[in-house]
Structure 1
Amino acid sequence: MTDGKEELVLVAGGAGFIGSHLCRALLGQGRRVVCLDNLQTARPVNLRLFERHPGFEFIEADVVDPLPPSLLERTRQFTRIYNLACAASPPQYQADPEHTMLTNVVGTHHLLRLAEEAGARFLLSSTSEVYGDPEAHPQREDYRGWVSCTGPRACYDEGKRAAEAMTFDYARMGRAEVRVARIFNTYGPQMRPDDGRVVSNLVCQALSGREITVYGDGSQTRSFCYISDMVDGLMRLMEHDGVGMEPVNLGNPTEMTVNELLNHILDLTGATAPVVHKPLPIDDPRRRRPEISTARKLLDWSPRVPLEEGLAATCAWFASELGAGAPVEGKARIKSPVAAG
């Protein structure tokens, strides 16, 4: 119980990759959880692990639309609202850019008003994409970014920036208690095989024996955080009483090139498929690494799962999903860049 009311947590986007892991972790803490999702890009199978849990409820609805009565009638019960509602991979959010922008702006507005009426703490899942193709490295929370407001990624990048602005405006006006997490690349079991993210792309192509696609020459860098670490960071941020008017980076500060990531995956899967290089997508960031001293100081948080351990679990999960058998040891290596064909 919190302030004399029944404690209930709303997870918007709770059927998605991060959202479903978050729902499971909250249920594991004994919380009652309402998952709100339109299932546009989520995997409904993600919910099967706890759909019969007595503390779990699923509502199919789109945050762009007015929130459903079945949710609003329990407004005063909510003590925590996590907003993870938005397609997160470029192919998915670019497929319907209008809806992506509306999800970030209108959807966030709907959920902030719910938080205001409920007196609930609100957490926005923002993104490292607010930094764009960064000129500053690593990326600190006070870096204002290098974002194209007219490119094909703008629906997501600028949508999240607008969502952050609205969230902090609600806090400045005393209308809601807010938290903002800027999430960097996250991976692990329960990702969609076709979501277009670099880890799922490379693992699924390696396991299937198809040509492996690397965009550009593979020298662009990313920092990969395992899903359990990310969920831990989100929950710590939500529950920390000293955070408010500042975003917090959540991600793994260990930076590597896409080629290095691929070599790890080839080792785990034993794949020998050819590597084909294609042009980099428009506005694709060249380097990305979070500066996480804020999370370390405020939340006592930093990633704990090594890449080798997280990738092994991820490869094993995808192998099971694809019917490819368990990953095996291999010695494959990228010899040299292959020309785009």
Structure 2
Amino acid sequence: MAAQNKLFHIIIFALVLLVAFPVEQANAQGLRVGFYKKTCPVAEKIIRTTTARYISRVPSLAAPILRMFFHDCFIRGCDASLLLNTTNSRRPAEKDTPPNQQLRGWQVIDAAKAAVEKRCPGVVSCADILALVTRDAVSLIKGPFWQVQTGRRDGRVSNANDVRGLPAPTDNITSLKRQFAAKGLSVKDLVVLSGGHTIGNSHCSSFTTRIYNFTGKGDADPSMDKNYVRQLKAKCKPRDTTTIVQMDPGSSKEFDAGYYNMVLKRRGLFESDSALLRDSSTQAYVQQQARTRSSTFFKDFSTSMIKLGNVGVLTGRAGDIRKKCAFVN
């Protein structure tokens, strides 16, 4: 009997090993906090120091860098494909399409990459550098700080046609929910990440139709506050392509929950902002963040950014570690 029990326990132990081993292997191929702890332990410090040098001089760079990360992850996954330059005029890269031509901050990514390469050549991916620079840029303008999981590798393809899948300022709530769901992101992630519009500016051309010719009859979007429409018209003429306005007037350089107050007052700049009031769950979140003193926005934003950073990543032996972020090896 004792021998049978011993044999039984040996078999169970062996089965546990067989089950656990592939799980452990799978986890080893994924992202984790401190991925470069042994191969380049100073990487995150170097990246934060470099980012701080730029953001301290030009805090407004935080907003386009945040959008850069969002756009990269939404197009082909978080693989730094957005950073690649066009090398064939017949096949433009992602960065040369209208939604991305207005982005700024490329020099911050390049500087961080150069600094890390000098210390640890061929180790840290551009995809991870973009993720870390984004976190650091946001936290440096009084936004939340979150633990960035690293271990991404860089993609080899950047195609302008792929940008069609990027959420647009004119999208309605149905379209937004569908696009976020396709990336494995929830409705809560949608309303939380929309809060990134608390920083930064927009060109008038992104919303002039909304205030001058919403239905093709020379009218404004009736869902917008009329006083806000008048303010926008005073700044933006119908064919204005150069003027910029703050997306969250009064605090566009400081990360806070003020965006939700604007949306609740029907002063969301884009149709995609106003769309948050047309779904019961997103509307409830907007109301909660706008009306409470103990906002959960920072905590929620950190959680959603971690989820966003997991979208379509390349890990293990997939992809490359680029020597320069604008070019494939």
Question: TM-score scaled by structure 2?
Answer: 0.26
Identify the structure with the greater strand proportion.
Answer: 1
Please state which structure has a larger fraction of its residues in helix. Answer: 2
Higher relative contact order (CA 8 A, sep 6+): 2
